[in-house]
Chain A
Amino acid sequence: MTHDQHFRVWRGDDEKGELVDYPVEVNEGEVVLDIIHRLQATQAQDMAVRWNCKAGKCGSCSVEINGKPRLACMTRMSTFTEDEVITVTPLRTFPVIRDLVTDVSFNYTKAREIPSFAPPEGVEPGEYRMQQVDVERSQEFRKCIECYLCQNTCHVVRDHEENKESFAGPRYLMRIAELDMHPLDSADRQKAAQEEHGLGMCNITKCCTEVCPEHIKITDNALIPLKERVVDRKYDPLVWLGSKIFKRGEV
């Protein structure tokens, strides 16, 4: 079963651009990325789109479809009516390189600012012992395919360029939570999460969780528990006393 559908795709660069109309053939069982590929092969060879696995596993083909941040490979055409206009635009939070491709280097910059896993001292490779139940919490966050849909949708930075400097975004706050919950990580991360990476700017509206294609409960399982850990420490009198005595900020 084949029909024609009206696609509107944003074409342009970081300076100027416009939505261009394309009538295009759609076959049964296709996804938005299939249609973009058809446009490339038949009408617009040079239409830029980023993609890799086309199986929902690499997180490359993030775009906005009718205004919603989505993976193009996981958006089925059958979820639209045949007379619906499908508008595909680049991620709004990041600068456009061309057409549907944006410059996502913000995310790589933030990734580098998060201190890495700190291996426990004196434990040799092969001697790491952890229980399944203890690794599962961090494992949930390691399902992240780094599609940056959460980074794109988060209202702290979506229309607030000025916040980008001080806010790591849900993906990298979740990375801090992941390391904080790693059974063998030896670093103290909670203070920095709040003071250096902008955890306090998150007001748990759960937009990130909503757009996550991996269905990671970013807000409930990563951000809120991390906030709680920060708060517990800040207001716990024993911890306060301990930090005065040991002067290392950790107990």
Chain B
Amino acid sequence: MSENIEKHEYDVVVIGAGGAGLRAAIEARAQGKRTAIISKSLFGKAHTVMAEGGCAAAMGNVNSNDNWMVHYRDTMRGGKFLNNWRMAELHAKEAPDRVWELETYGALFDRTPDGKISQRNFGGHTYPRLAHVGDRTGLELIRTLQQKIVSLQQEDFKETGDYESNIRVFHECTITELFKADGRIAGAFAYYRSTGQFVRFDAPAVVLATGGVGKSYQVTSNSWEYTGDGHALALRAGATLINMEFLQFHPTGMVWPPSVKGILVTESVRGDGGILKNSDGKRFMFDYIPDVFKEQYATTPEEGDRWYDDPDNNRRPPELLPRDEVARAINSEVKAGRGTPHGGVFLDIASRRSKEEILKRLPSMYHQFKELADVDITAEPMEVGPTCHYVMGGVEVDPDTAMSVVPGLFSAGECSGGMHGSNRLGGNSLSDLLVFGRRAGAGASEYVDGLGGVRPAVLTDDVAQAEKRALLPFSSATEGGENPFVVHQELQKTMNDLVGIIRKADEMELALKALEDIATRTRTVSVEGARVFNPGWHLALDLRNMLLVSLCVARAALERQESRGGHTRDDYPVMDSDWRHVLLVLSALGEDNVELVRKEQLPMRPELFDLFELDELKKYYTGEELGGHRADSAADKGEKA
């Protein structure tokens, strides 16, 4: 070995310091486990801060008809019944307790007139359900959890004189490899971004909470950290991923100017009168109303415009079709050469509403774009297009303990799969973080207890191997490898153009070919300079994670021959019940190849099945699956229970 590597021993190592990671760490510490939190960024900067809408929990503060069963049904519908039903059940049942608990940590949510936590309406939720703080709910969540961890450290300080005796945050520290021994997790390997020095963590339990994969796409609302680290670490450690074909693209992300590229333009811009136009000035959405929606949507601009003031007697304008339909329409216009100069379409509210009205209804949108981009949405149209927003797919885990197929490896939040099925409802990610973050922390603690003091030992050879791989970009420099920034851009373009929001078999085959080539180039990227805070080197190492994850997305997307939720196939445009119960499970073959197998989803527990009307289930299930199902009016009874 070339250097003396810093070594730490912990009971539980949590990778990722967003909502899921922090909640997991709080739980592990509460169970008496010495816990490390490893974060690529500074403590408190995680991508969770970007969440605006709120945190879904059926507390029933605004509408007392709400309860876990209604939330459960909404979640399953949103995911088109492909969700892991046990996760959806746990999530719906436990979310209220997780939100209330935040108040004991000091969170200050917006209030109802009677002083409870206020809840707002959101797409797909039957009742007002999202606990929120204006449009900065994610920031409140991350700050609250961060401050709770500080308070636990203060308690430890009183006891031991050391703030970090039981819980320590290693910030700006990136994990590159997990260690196993005898088939179990034994630890992890990392480098400090600030010094470039290596560090190893010996621990029998690791919780992955690294978030999503958006940085594999050119246009994304995700921050630089979203390079699929947890997904890739899990794969390389022998765990499996599911649902990787399901990515949520938001139809209206800014495509111009560059300062705000990818940033979301909230749906309420369209709800409040904004319309979509192509470069000919045509309001094109009327050409894209699918037959199944013909009854619910206006067929003329006149009728659509009347809806805003009189929704009872008019049908809604087609700008308010579901996200995937709007995204598909924008995509078609751009591909037909009727896009804006920067590859989007125009979203125009300026010519439709007065300045005063826009300022009143959309204040934060106005200020955000004015300050970041000098775009005045009251005076000019925005240029928008689909932006990669959230990955439904992730590590396959046991719903109750959050453990993957690798003993000792746990996962929670966006980097785990199953909870959201094929499509996530807005507001369900913050609650997901809290519910499964806590469960992962508890699961890891229980696992450690079960080991009875016998811990797998990290193998010296594995450490040497990890060190060698991490330094590869420096060593290949002499062989004339490519600039990692260039290879990254190519990867992003490939995924954006060929495995984007609307997919076709031939394009995805092209993508897989291109990824083969990118894999070769990723292995030989070279970096300049030294190891101290070197962004080129950091990217070179993140790149292999993005590549592995992109392979999973492309392979699964090619395999699934139907359209469902966050997976839209131009060549298979219809949802197919025979695909609902099929999970596509991916595992790694080496560093840059993956294997896909099909697996049957476990059938839903009967009493949960009975929460739905038979007529609704018929839309999603095959006749054969419904054969044994008799109770068809239980939903109403259940709700009153």
Q: With A47-B535, A74-B371, A125-B104 as known contacts, state yes or no: A116 contacts B150, CB within 8 Å.
A: yes
- List B contacts of A139 (CB < 8 A): 108, 133-134
- Which of A16-24, A130-138, A202-210 lies at the interface? A130-138
Q: Does B111 lie within 8 Å of A135, measured CB to CB? A: yes
CB proximity of A128 to chain B, nearest CB, Å: 4
CB proximity of B368 to chain A, nearest CB, Å: 7
Most buried by A among B111, B133, B528: B111
- List B contacts of A108 (CB < 8 A): 43
Decide if B532 is an interface residue (CB 8 Å cutoff): yes
Decide if B230 is an interface residue (CB 8 Å cutoff): no
Decide if B110 is an interface residue (CB 8 Å cutoff): yes
- List A contacts of B532 (CB < 8 A): 13, 48, 97-98
Decide if A122 is an interface residue (CB 8 Å cutoff): no
Q: Does A46 lie within 8 Å of B529, measured CB to CB? A: yes
Which A residues between 1 and 41 are near B, CB-CB below 8 angstroms? 13, 27-31, 34, 40-41
- List A contacts of B527 (CB < 8 A): 45-46
Q: Does A126 lie within 8 Å of B100, measured CB to CB? A: yes
CB proximity of A77 to chain B, nearest CB, Å: 8
Q: Does A52 lie within 8 Å of B224, measured CB to CB? A: yes
Please give me the residue from chain A that is nearest to B259 by CB atom: A31
Partner of B372, one of A47, A73, A132, A185: A73
- List A contacts of B224 (CB < 8 A): 51-52, 54
Decide if B44 is an interface residue (CB 8 Å cutoff): yes
Decide if A111 is an interface residue (CB 8 Å cutoff): yes
Q: With A46-B535, A131-B111, A142-B143 as known contacts, state yes or no: A53 contacts B373, CB within 8 Å.
A: no
Most buried by A among B139, B140, B483: B139
CB proximity of A38 to chain B, nearest CB, Å: 10
Decide if A182 is an interface residue (CB 8 Å cutoff): yes
- List B contacts of A143 (CB < 8 A): 136, 139
Partner of B151, one of A31, A59, A117: A117
Which B residues between 29 and 49 are near A, CB-CB below 8 angstroms? 41-45, 47, 49
Q: Does B106 lie within 8 Å of A117, measured CB to CB? A: yes
In Å, the complex CA distance between A101 and B193 comes to 11
Decide if B223 is an interface residue (CB 8 Å cutoff): yes
Q: Does B263 lie within 8 Å of A55, measured CB to CB? A: yes
In Å, the complex CA distance between A53 and B527 comes to 24
Decide if A145 is an interface residue (CB 8 Å cutoff): yes
- List B contacts of A185 (CB < 8 A): 106
Q: Does B533 lie within 8 Å of A98, measured CB to CB? A: yes
In Å, the complex CA distance between A28 and B375 comes to 12
Q: Does B153 lie within 8 Å of A29, measured CB to CB? A: no
In Å, the complex CA distance between A132 and B44 comes to 26
Decide if A57 is an interface residue (CB 8 Å cutoff): yes
CB proximity of A65 to chain B, nearest CB, Å: 14
- Interface bin, chain B: 35 or more
CB proximity of A135 to chain B, nearest CB, Å: 5
Question: By DSSP majority rule, is chain A's interface helix, strand, loop, or mixed?
Answer: loop
In Å, the complex CA distance between A23 and B536 comes to 20
Q: With A97-B532, A98-B533, A142-B140 as known contacts, state yes or no: A119 contacts B150, CB within 8 Å.
A: no
Q: With A46-B535, A99-B533, A145-B139 as known contacts, state yes or no: A138 contacts B108, CB within 8 Å.
A: yes
Decide if A68 is an interface residue (CB 8 Å cutoff): no
In Å, the complex CA distance between A93 and B117 comes to 40
- List B contacts of A50 (CB < 8 A): 42
Q: Does A60 lie within 8 Å of B41, measured CB to CB? A: yes
In Å, the complex CA distance between A54 and B214 comes to 14
CB proximity of A116 to chain B, nearest CB, Å: 3
CB proximity of B380 to chain A, nearest CB, Å: 12
Partner of B133, one of A41, A99, A126, A142: A142
In Å, the complex CA distance between A174 and B532 comes to 34
In Å, the complex CA distance between A209 and B527 comes to 41
Decide if B530 is an interface residue (CB 8 Å cutoff): yes
Decide if A160 is an interface residue (CB 8 Å cutoff): no
Q: Does B535 lie within 8 Å of A48, measured CB to CB? A: yes
- List B contacts of A54 (CB < 8 A): 223-224
Decide if A200 is an interface residue (CB 8 Å cutoff): no
Which B residues between 566 and 598 are near A, CB-CB below 8 angstroms? none
Partner of A182, one of B50, B106, B489, B529: B106
Q: With A29-B256, A41-B483, A139-B108 as known contacts, state yes or no: A53 contacts B223, CB within 8 Å.
A: yes
Which B residues between 149 and 206 are near A, CB-CB below 8 angstroms? 150-151, 153-154, 157, 163, 194
- List B contacts of A48 (CB < 8 A): 532-535
Q: Does A52 lie within 8 Å of B45, measured CB to CB? A: yes
Q: Does A46 lie within 8 Å of B139, measured CB to CB? A: no
Can you list 20 residue pairs at the A/B interface with Cβ under 8 Å? A29-B256, A31-B259, A41-B489, A45-B536, A55-B260, A55-B263, A55-B372, A56-B371, A56-B372, A57-B50, A57-B136, A57-B139, A76-B259, A101-B194, A108-B43, A112-B157, A112-B163, A116-B151, A125-B97, A138-B108
* Known contacts A53-B50, A78-B374; 8 further A-B pairs (Cβ under 8 A): A29-B257, A29-B258, A46-B534, A48-B532, A53-B223, A116-B151, A117-B151, A179-B106
Chain A interface (Cβ < 8 Å from any Cβ of B): 13, 27-31, 34, 40-41, 45-60, 73-74, 76, 78, 97-99, 101, 103-104, 108, 111-112, 115-117, 119, 125-126, 128-132, 135, 138-139, 142-146, 179, 182, 185
3 A-B pairs with least C-beta separation? A29-B257, A46-B529, A117-B106
